[in-house]
Amino acid sequence: MRVLGIETSCDETGVAVYDTAAGLLAQRLHTQVDLHARYGGVVPELASRDHVRRLVPLIEAVLAESNTPKASLDAIACTEGPGLAGALLVGASVAHALGYALGKPVVGVHHLEGHLLSPLLAQPRPAFPFVALLVSGGHTQFHDVEGVGRYRLCGDTLDDAAGEAFDKTATLLGLPYPGGPALAKLAESGRDGKASLPRPMIDSGDLRMSFSGLKTAVATLVRKRAADGALDAQAKADIALEFQHAVVDVLVAKSLAALRTTGRERLVVAGGVGANRELRARLVAEVARRGREVYFPDPALCTDNGAMIALAGALRLADAKPGDGSFTVRPRWELAALPRA
């Protein structure tokens, strides 16, 4: 079965073709980073308009690259939610129009389910069941995953997600948008032991997390260093490194606790922050030390992308609806509301 996946939930236009027998055949991604950089964050109307410009050419490109005539598609999958309403509407309208024109079924995919299942695109791919650390821009959660649609939330943030803390800390350090990758890059030149920050809730005894206080601690440290005339480029790099250490320490400790609590043998990591090199290296070492396994998607598939939507759609073909031209989007959509596949 060959599925076209379309992702337009926020500021990246992703399209891919996935074959249930041959795997991922082609994918293209257009990021709107340059478009939104001048505003320091995503402008929803601009995001929607850019999806309109980019989506059809990207679809044509992946179909050509994968040698897939439109008529040979078995289904079309698109992100139905959650996300920006206007952006979701662009992807859903194109997907359902295409489904109607071709007489093919259309699958509406939950964006977070796409992230949760994205490590299944890796080789080797993890087997169910596993614990998933979902650490995207707006979410930092642990899910006990028994199978497609069988998710149990077992840990969440009380406030800011790790990705939000990265972005806000980057702003405090005067780094450009998008802040997370810029901060990780700056941390490479930081020196250990030159700054000190807390590890919030690392010893809380549960799988809850909090990163808002860490961001506030950075703000306090930055103000103090600036008042003392000691906030030069090296000092900012030192703070960036200590901040990254703090986030990684918490995520690693909580991941190990999640494995113990659930009794699972496998951990999968998904979402944009999952591309962070320090986080990957620490998890690989610590999980292996305990005789268990950890899986990551390719770094290129950690951000929003069409490949994860095509995969999730392929795994939910039973939920596909005939392409009759009608559709809806769900900007707010709880993962717990998903049916089992």
The per-residue pLDDT for 321 is: 74
Q: Which residue has the tokens 């959660």?
A: 141
C-alpha distances in angstroms, 215 versus 194, 220, 262, 339?
17, 9, 30, 37
The per-residue pLDDT for 318 is: 80
| Cα-to-chain-centroid distance, residue 152 | 18
Residues of the chain short of pLDDT 50, as ranges, are none
Helices 277-289 & 233-262 angle (0-180, nearest 10) = 40
Q: Which domains does the chain have, with CATH numbers?
A: 2-117+301-337 (3.30.420.40), 129-296 (3.30.420.40)
Q: Is the pTM of this model over 0.85?
A: yes
Q: Which residue has the tokens 């990684």?
A: 248
- Alpha helices by DSSP H, the chain: 33-37, 44-65, 85-102, 111-117, 162-172, 179-187, 212-227, 233-262, 277-289, 306-315
The per-residue pLDDT for 70 is: 97
The per-residue pLDDT for 339 is: 86
- Residue 171 near residue 181, CB atoms below 8 Å: no
Four-CA torsion 320, 324, 326, 328, nearest 10 degrees: 10
